[in-house]
Structure 1
Amino acid sequence: MSERVSRYIKQQGMVSDGDEILLAVSGGPDSVCMLYIMHKLSCEMGFSLRLAHLNHSLRGEESERDAAYVAELAAALGVPLCQQKVSVKAYQAEHHLSTEEAAREMRYAFLCRTAAEYGSAAVAVGHTTDDNIETVMLHLVRGSGTRGLQGLRPVLNRTVAGEGCLRVIRPLLGLSRAETQNYCCEAGLSPVQDVTNQSTDLLRNRIRLEVLPMLRGINPAFEETILRTAFIAGEEMALLDEVTSQMKAELVIRQDNVLMIEKIEMQRLHPALKRNLLRQMLEELLGGLKDIEARHIESIIQTLDKPAGRRIDLPYKLVFQVDYEHYLLGWEIDELCPYPPFQGEYRLGVGTETILDGWTVKTEVLPSPVGLDLSESTLVAYLDMDKAGSDLAVRTRTEGDQFQPLGMEEAKSLKEFMIDNKIPRSWRARVPLLFSGAEILWLVGYRIGQSAKVDENTRRVLRVEFKLQN
């Protein structure tokens, strides 16, 4: 088994000569097996060890027993040990987490701090193929998407909120749980047993104790099938991540707490690249993907073709918002209003270009409505020239403005229309309005008015284009 672990470590590039590896040892069979194998290999492969044990204080005397047992192992092998005792229950209540989530967060925070304090190159955890299979099934049940099929990775960089980045290695990922237990038995070791592993209150335990045995009855080679699927998914996701990272570096711009990408660039991407790019953007902002589910990504995807101003609220008060020319993801997005501020009223000539504060407005008359590209841009409008007239002006909203949007039989308050169309409050005073006399012909970027729509009787078309100045 030591030779198998040695080959796996070398194959995955887990350890370099001279590294210190921090071993996360709970006292159970998997971590004890890892400790003894890694202790043997440390001399052969030229790395050193340090042990880490976190007492979660969840099982009273059993938790104290586990901590004492790990201390005995460290002393027997002459390996330095870092221990800490915490209250998972208190942390759980403060952060409104499940016991399992709270314990995991506190454990990885402890490991990250300890690795940073002693300069450890990586933290080794004792996950086995059984853990990998259970993780894949857990991800499928929770709906984590294709990415969840890859299960546990041999090596990963894990971002720990408030602590930094932690390099995690899994040297036993090629061994089964039965093999680690046999190793301990044959070596005369007596690892501790966590009785909570037999409780079906936890979803992972229910999968291990109830679901997997049933699936083995259907397909005796079920484990091999899952592991093969996880391996293929991992290889494909690694390639997708590499390609996406290159694209992200080229396309995504960060401004304070907001990530921006041009709409036209995003719309050109394959759906798989869109999803992965959004995932990487979320991960950059949050430092991880905790509480981000496939449904959040899909809700953003379904919003990409919505008009400017549409927004989605995400976990941790993140917001995704559609702009005229960009998609925005982050916090305090309203402060990045795309509309330049301007005041006063501007007269527009027909067949001319007019410079406003931050805008260039071009008007031209087309001799026929045939062949109009109505999907050209949200900043281009086509109106019936004879209905619109030549008395054109641009201003922003004023109190009491009324607007009859295209397709509606009656006018409504402009304020009500802006609210219904989810135009952010901070944007509304900047949205240009195209007028003819007292009639709103176009709420720029959103909707033209009913009064000047192009129909079967239209002879001449007035094309109006707003361009943002650089």
Structure 2
Amino acid sequence: MYEKEVEANLRRLVQNGEKLGVAVSGGADSVALATVCVAYGRKTGNEVVFLHFEHGIRGEESLRDMEFVKKLAGRLGVKCIVERGDAAAEAEKEKESLEAAARRLRYDFFVKAAEENGIDKVAVAHHREDLAETLLLNLIRGGGIDGMTAMKETREPFFIRPMLRCTREQVTDFLERHRIPFVYDSSNDDVNYARNRVRKELVPLMAEMNPDIVSALMRAYDILLAEGSALQGLADERYQACAREKEGWVDISLDLFDGEPLAIKRRIVRRAIDRVGCITDVELKNVDDIIGLAERRRTGKWMEKNDFRAVVSYDILKICSKSFIIDKYGVFFGKTLEEAARISDAPLPGCFPEESSATQYISKSAAEGAVVRRRRDGDVIRPFGMEGTKKLGDWFTDKKVPMQKRDAAPIVEQNGRIIWVVGYGLSEYARAGEEGAVKVEFGYENGEERDV
């Protein structure tokens, strides 16, 4: 039975005393999961909280769903946390599909709600047919093993899928047996959405060739999952052999890396990118570009993709975040500004570079004798345009710089005064006066392989 299977999974996935959030849209799947989770919580003492995100897509119908979930929570005696957004505006702003924007906003809300309310796990209502559809979608997009097995029972940071092996038929049967009401999302009928088209057109077409197509796709999923796990285990061993993790970057020995099969190379590179905190939105092309860079072994050649950089330094491939500045020998600190960057006399421009630019104009006097270093305990900065100083950590916080990137930020210092935090902003001490300015370039061109 559906409820017994879900409860058994909850016992494995949720620890005693953990607070459980349940993503509830109001549809059949999420209402079934929410009902079982509440019953489970009453037996075990785990507190259950409903989470609902209203995307602003379907007008009155969307508001109806929100009110339905609130009333369901009230009827079951649990707290309901609701947030509203505008997925259409977000999709236009970020140049992404409406589906992608809605999903991103929804999961951002789940994470925020969990952090603000002490929720330890968030359960989402994906079932076997959802898994089969996801496999097909990623296959159509040209995904590999990891893409086709992306939907798993657990997902970082705290998401769980207690009904992933249950069928849609089991869900429907559970709701009918217990006469549990739910709402229907009319957008599920719109085949302009890729997932709906797969569900309503592709899967039925495949079922004409194999009536048990979902079971067949599940078998394929399980095979891919096992083989992907084995391949990743081998890649992890080879990563340990050829990679050395430093403070904010990874060095990969090209002598050892070169002999690996392409599949292992790709996983080594992806793990290195992940270790510097930049794996989001990394595509196969990005990974293969880095492998190509490594194979050419031209010292001083480097490239930048998304939020990370890769550079060849003799027999080493270095991978680091954008916060690092790279010269032809790799990532540097402890050099003079003159050694680390290109400095030239230049009149002040009519339009100054953005704070995030690796090229800035600073006073000549500030550049003299300046060095490049990491941040230190007790660092203070005099923000540009301000009279007083501020702790560098507070300044980073004001600029919303993630903690993991702060130690990687190159700091230009002169005689104990911070002149420039490269990639984040100048200090008041960089302001050019009568003595004139110099142009300082750590320059790079986004997305291009180049010499420095």
The TM-score, its normalising length taken from structure 1, stands at: 0.66
Deviation string 1:205-258 (CA, Å, 9 cap, x unpaired) is: 111111111111111222112111212222333344345445545643455654
Give 1:139 deviation, angstroms: 0.6
For 1:48 and 1:333, the matched residues in 2 are separated by 44
1:90 aligns with 2:61: no
Deviation string 1:26-74 (CA, Å, 9 cap, x unpaired) is: 1000000000111122233442211110111111111110110000000
For 1:256 and 1:20, the matched residues in 2 are separated by 35
Deviation string 1:297-344 (CA, Å, 9 cap, x unpaired) is: 233333432131444443x25333333121122326662421899xxx
1:283 aligns with 2:274: yes
Aligned partner of 1:122 in structure 2 is 121
Bigger shift: residues 103-112 or 257-266: 257-266
1:104 aligns with 2:94: no
Q: State which of 200, 203, 206 in structure 2 corresponds to 1:212.
A: 203
Q: Is the 8 A contact 1:334 1:424 kept in 2?
A: no
Q: Is the 8 A contact 1:24 1:31 kept in 2?
A: yes
The TM-score, its normalising length taken from structure 2, stands at: 0.68
Change (3 A) 1:333 1:262: farther
Change (3 A) 1:44 1:312: same
1:293 aligns with 2:283: yes
For 2:110 and 2:17, the matched residues in 1 are separated by 20
For 1:116 and 1:250, the matched residues in 2 are separated by 37
Q: Is the 8 A contact 1:150 1:233 kept in 2?
A: yes
Amino acid corresponding to residue 236 of structure 1 in structure 2 = E
For 2:203 and 2:167, the matched residues in 1 are separated by 14
Aligned partner of 1:113 in structure 2 is 112
Amino acid corresponding to residue 189 of structure 2 in structure 1 = Q
Aligned partner of 1:189 in structure 2 is 180
Q: Is the 8 A contact 2:303 2:450 kept in 1?
A: no
For 1:338 and 1:41, the matched residues in 2 are separated by 58
Aligned partner of 1:335 in structure 2 is 326
Amino acid corresponding to residue 265 of structure 1 in structure 2 = L
For 2:301 and 2:239, the matched residues in 1 are separated by 23
Give 1:96 deviation, angstroms: 1.9
Aligned partner of 2:7 in structure 1 is 6
Q: Is the 8 A contact 2:49 2:78 kept in 1?
A: yes
For 1:127 and 1:193, the matched residues in 2 are separated by 16
Q: Is the 8 A contact 1:5 1:174 kept in 2?
A: no
Aligned partner of 2:169 in structure 1 is 178
Q: Is the 8 A contact 1:138 1:207 kept in 2?
A: yes
For 2:233 and 2:79, the matched residues in 1 are separated by 38
Q: Is the 8 A contact 2:311 2:326 kept in 1?
A: no
The 3-state SS of whatever aligns with 2:295 is coil
List runs of 5+ in structure 1 lacking aligned partners.
158-165, 342-421, 427-470
The 3-state SS of whatever aligns with 1:220 is coil
Deviation string 1:137-182 (CA, Å, 9 cap, x unpaired) is: 011011111212324100121xxxxxxxx21100111111232123
Identity %: 25
Aligned partner of 1:131 in structure 2 is 130
Q: State which of 251, 255, 261 in structure 1 corresponds to 2:252.
A: 261
Aligned partner of 2:339 in structure 1 is none
Amino acid corresponding to residue 6 of structure 1 in structure 2 = E
Q: Is the 8 A contact 2:88 2:98 kept in 1?
A: yes
Aligned partner of 2:34 in structure 1 is 35
For 2:449 and 2:148, the matched residues in 1 are separated by 39
The 3-state SS of whatever aligns with 1:190 is coil
Q: Is the 8 A contact 1:143 1:293 kept in 2?
A: no
Bigger shift: residues 37-46 or 325-334: 325-334
Aligned partner of 1:390 in structure 2 is none
The 3-state SS of whatever aligns with 1:35 is helix
For 1:336 and 1:312, the matched residues in 2 are separated by 12
Change (3 A) 1:174 1:95: same
Q: State which of 311, 325, 331 in structure 2 corresponds to 1:321.
A: 311
For 1:423 and 1:57, the matched residues in 2 are separated by 42
Change (3 A) 1:50 1:250: farther
Q: Highest Rg: 1 or 2?
A: 1
Aligned residues: 336
